[in-house]
Amino acid sequence: MALAFLDRDRSIAPEGYSRWLAPPAALAIHLSIGQVYSFSVFKNPLLALHGADGAAWNLKEVGYIFSIAIAFLGISAALFGAWLEKAGPRRAMFYAACCFGLGFVIASFGASNHQLWLIYLGYGVIGGIGLGLGYISPVSTLIKWFPDRPGLATGLAIMGFGGGAMIGGPLASNLMAYFKGQGDPSIPYTMLTMGALYFVFMMFGVFTIRVPRDGWKPAGWVPAVRHSALISSHNVAVHEAWKTPQFWLLWVMLFVNVTAGIGILEQAAPMIQDLFKGSVVAAAAVGFVGLLSIFNMAGRFFWASASDFIGRKATYFCFFTIGPILYFVLPLTRQDRLNSVPLFVGIAVVLLSMYGGGFATIPAYLKDLFGGYNVSAIHGRLLTAWSAAGIIGPLIVNGILDHYVENHMNKEDAYPLILHIMCGLLVVGFLANLMVRPVAEKYWLKDKNIVVPEGVAH
């Protein structure tokens, strides 16, 4: 078979292979697909495009492109998670690269011919499937390579997803400026170029990734005998995992954490300008968005790594105790109260670090509760919480803002309400985390022949 080199058996690491080659492979995938967070750079150029009949797209129609992509991220992660366990990370990464690259190519034809449905299909549906496949593909492999530090390993990879926007945003802006300067159609050419560049970069990940041999463990590492009751030495299959209350408690935790983060991310630039009218210019607001993306990325690494030492439940305890307090205090920093831009920015970046940290710590939390056997598949199904938050979060934020604007009320008065709703949601997350207990024995996998990596102890 032509694609036999992608088989799991062909990607088993030879003896002597360094596990430190696995994180760059994962990062190549996540830094690429993280571009989706910077899709907004295409918004204004797409709005300025006109068809042959002079028709133009509106903001809502263009906004659906991102929503479709995130929805298909969750759907494909949920659908293909179990397949990934069998097919291996290399094949999944290869298909992710094909889908993500092809998505750009189809979207470029859509932009070129002013056919929005082609952009929905390309970047939204096909690209979104690439996002889902790419997002979950390296997670369980990294956990297997780093059984001593699963939080650090998944934090490293998922940090790449947060950092992808930092590359994708300026890359798209510079390419569009370049092609415009050359007199070429800027959006189609930029999309084609980005599709090709990301495909090549993701191929580096495809050819670098290896899975450890059965029974492999880091040299000198001995799994601790005694560890937290929440770290299971048993495994739970994906079809059983989602029947457990623990799965749904974690689903709620991820959902509220993402929804709360969207409360800031969705309106970051206009929010800081509205709350500090005249004090923060447009360029500074763009800088604020950049700062949020840095802390979103750094938080993924910091919190996930910290969870290896303090435990997953304690890490989420931090998110759901510090988070509500900061969401409550954040509106008090505005111009007519404390009037402190640095305090507003300081609180917002801490909140965004916890938003990223929530994403990065969840795979290790799943591994603790359900074992490593089906962690990719379970993680894939849990990511539907992200899709749901991607729809509900903007609905809350934009719904409240629209209500204030339509009723001629002060727009800046809407933000405290939005942020206090997010505060309340995090309290729900706090309760969910509090209710997490070890998975009951009836859900454990009974097959004793299945070889699974040992878990970390703390």
Partner 1 sequence: MADSTSVKKSSPVLIAAAWIIVIVPTAWGLNYTVKNAMKLFTASAPAAAAPAK
With binding defined as CB under 8 A, does residue 181 bind partner 1?
no
With binding defined as CB under 8 A, does residue 24 bind partner 1?
yes
- Contacts of residue 3, Cβ cutoff 8 Å, sequence gap at least 6: 91, 94
For residues 89 to 118, the per-residue mask of contacts with partner 1, x marking binding by CB under 8 A and - elsewhere, is: ------------------------------
With binding defined as CB under 8 A, does residue 25 bind partner 1?
yes
Q: Pick from 208, 235, 257, 305 the residue near partner 1 by CB under 8 A.
A: 208
Residues 227-256 that bind partner 1 (CB under 8 A): none
Q: Pick from 88, 89, 132, 169 the residue near partner 1 by CB under 8 A.
A: 169
CA distances from 262 to 240, 254, 292, 352 (A): 31, 12, 12, 9
Query: In this chain, which stretch among 46-54, 168-176, 220-228, 385-393 interacts with partner 1, using CB under 8 A?
Result: 168-176
Distance CA 253, CA 383 (A): 11
Q: Pick from 1, 2, 4, 14 the residue near partner 1 by CB under 8 A.
A: 14
In the numeric block, which tokens belong to residue 355? Answer: 């938003």
Partnered with residue 12 across adjacent β-strands are 211
In the numeric block, which tokens belong to residue 127? Answer: 């690209």
Residues 291-310 that bind partner 1 (CB under 8 A): 291, 293-294
CB of 214 to partner 1, least distance (A): 15
Distance CA 312, CA 365 (A): 6
Query: CA angle, 151 as apex, 165 and 328 as ends, to 5°?
Result: 65
With binding defined as CB under 8 A, does residue 286 bind partner 1?
yes
By beta-carbon proximity to partner 1, the closer residue of 27 and 237 is: 27
With binding defined as CB under 8 A, does residue 80 bind partner 1?
no
By beta-carbon proximity to partner 1, the closer residue of 141 and 387 is: 141
Q: Contact 368/230 with Cβ under 8 angstroms?
A: yes
With binding defined as CB under 8 A, does residue 321 bind partner 1?
no
Burial classification of residue 113, based on how many CB atoms lie within 10 Å of its CB (0-12 exposed, 13-18 middle, 19 or more buried): exposed
With binding defined as CB under 8 A, does residue 163 bind partner 1?
yes
By beta-carbon proximity to partner 1, the closer residue of 27 and 78 is: 27
With binding defined as CB under 8 A, does residue 18 bind partner 1?
yes
Helices (H), ranges, 383-413: 384-406
Q: Pick from 62, 97, 166, 378 the residue near partner 1 by CB under 8 A.
A: 166
Distance CA 23, CA 159 (A): 11
CB of 403 to partner 1, least distance (A): 28
Query: In this chain, which stretch among 58-66, 181-189, 257-265, 289-297 interacts with partner 1, using CB under 8 A?
Result: 289-297
At 374, which amino acid appears?
N
By beta-carbon proximity to partner 1, the closer residue of 108 and 208 is: 208
């934009």: which residue's tokens? Answer: 398
For residues 26 to 45, the per-residue mask of contacts with partner 1, x marking binding by CB under 8 A and - elsewhere, is: -xx--x--------------
Q: What DSSP string runs through 200-217?
A: HHHHHHHHH--BPPTT--
Query: CA angle, 220 as apex, 301 and 20 as ends, to 5°?
Result: 40
Please measure the distance between the N-terminal and C-terminal CA atoms of the chain and give it in whole angstroms.
45
Distance CA 202, CA 134 (A): 9
Q: Pick from 341, 351, 385, 426 the residue near partner 1 by CB under 8 A.
A: 341
């969910």: which residue's tokens? Answer: 432
By beta-carbon proximity to partner 1, the closer residue of 201 and 444 is: 201
With binding defined as CB under 8 A, does residue 47 bind partner 1?
no
At 171, which amino acid appears?
L
Site residue total, partner 1 (CB under 8 A): 42
Query: In this chain, which stretch among 167-175, 241-249, 322-330, 354-362 interacts with partner 1, using CB under 8 A?
Result: 167-175
By beta-carbon proximity to partner 1, the closer residue of 349 and 432 is: 349
With binding defined as CB under 8 A, does residue 276 bind partner 1?
yes
- Residue 97 DSSP label: H
What are the residues binding partner 1 (CB under 8 A)?
Answer: 14-18, 20-21, 24-25, 27-28, 31, 160, 163, 166-171, 201, 204, 208, 276, 278-281, 283-288, 290-291, 293-294, 335, 339, 341, 345
